[in-house]
Structure 1
Amino acid sequence: MSKEIVYTDQAPAPIGPYNQAVKVTTACGSTTLYVSGQVAIELAPLGDIQAETQKVMENVGAILRAGNMDYANVVKATIFVKDMNNFAAINEVYGRFFTSDFPARETVEVARLPKDVNVEISVIAVN
């Protein structure tokens, strides 16, 4: 097994002791990319949940590309939201990035997110 740190300047730099993504390749050649939760800190001050979700998904896409993958490789997503009343708006934007064979997913309401954002999304992609 080999482990590679994936980084792109097209998404926010980590704000703690973690990486944007870690790519693991097994001896049989399968590759999994674990993308850390992405937020839209570039949009501060925050307020438009659809614009925030769009930016988060663009950040995820930039990291996927840096790992030589794209949204079609995503098999699992986790969405953390500050207010579940924003679920429909978040889901609408999120859905634009997947056309078929949608990934498995959960959406969880949380009390607070880093930098007081409203949405954070992480994904796992396989090639």
Structure 2
Amino acid sequence: MKRDHINALNAPQPHGGYSQAVSIEEFRRLLFVSGQIPVTSDEVVPEGFEAQARQVWLNVDAQLKAAGMTKTGIVKITTYLADRHHVMANREIRNDYLGSHAPAMTVVITGIFDSGWLLEVEVVAAQ
């Protein structure tokens, strides 16, 4: 798969581990991962934002692995946060998971389906 990270010089530059645009060519398949929630496989919601965010990324990773893919295939992330005060912690935990990988990304501050969930993350991956 050929991947190009695009950050136009005459537009705002990305800050925090993402690309303004990602172009992919010569891929075999796309995987659309539904919004992953901060719930463990035994239906426990971790306490606090950091624990919930780490659980969400464990769940994303589980879906990718079930499809025979890894985080390096992620080309787009959409994160829904229940409160803007979680923006920096979200960035730090996301960057811990992604490392130097920089997909296209959107973060939305919104109400979440369950009031106990502090975030939800959906991804698109390519292989």
- TM-based fold match above 0.5: yes
Query: How far did 1:85 drift?
Result: 0.9
For the residues of structure 2 that align with 1:94 and 1:100, how far apart are their CA atoms?
11
Query: How far did 1:97 drift?
Result: 1.3
* Preserved contact between residue 49 and residue 118 of structure 1 (Cα < 8 Å): yes
| One-letter amino acid of the structure 2 residue matched with residue 84 of structure 1 | R
Q: Can you list the C-alpha shifts for 1:27-62, whole angstroms capped at 9, x where unaligned?
A: x87110000000113343x54101000000000000
Alignment of 1:1-80 (within 5 A): 30-42=28-40, 43-44=44-45, 47-80=47-80
Q: Can you list the C-alpha shifts for 1:62-83, whole angstroms capped at 9, x where unaligned?
A: 0000011011000000000010
User: What are structure 2's unaligned runs of at least 5 residues?
Assistant: 1-25
Cα-Cα RMSD: 1.5
SS at match of 1:33: strand
* Preserved contact between residue 27 and residue 126 of structure 2 (Cα < 8 Å): no
Flag as ranges the 4+ runs of structure 1 deviating above 6 A: none
| One-letter amino acid of the structure 2 residue matched with residue 33 of structure 1 | L
User: Across the two proteins, how many residue pairs are aligned to each other?
Assistant: 98
Q: 1:29 to 1:52 in 2, by over 3 A?
A: closer
Give the aligned partner of residue 20 of structure 1. none
| Percentage of matched positions with identical amino acids | 27
Q: 1:29 to 1:103 in 2, by over 3 A?
A: closer
Give the aligned partner of residue 105 of structure 1. 105
Give the aligned partner of residue 114 of structure 2. 115
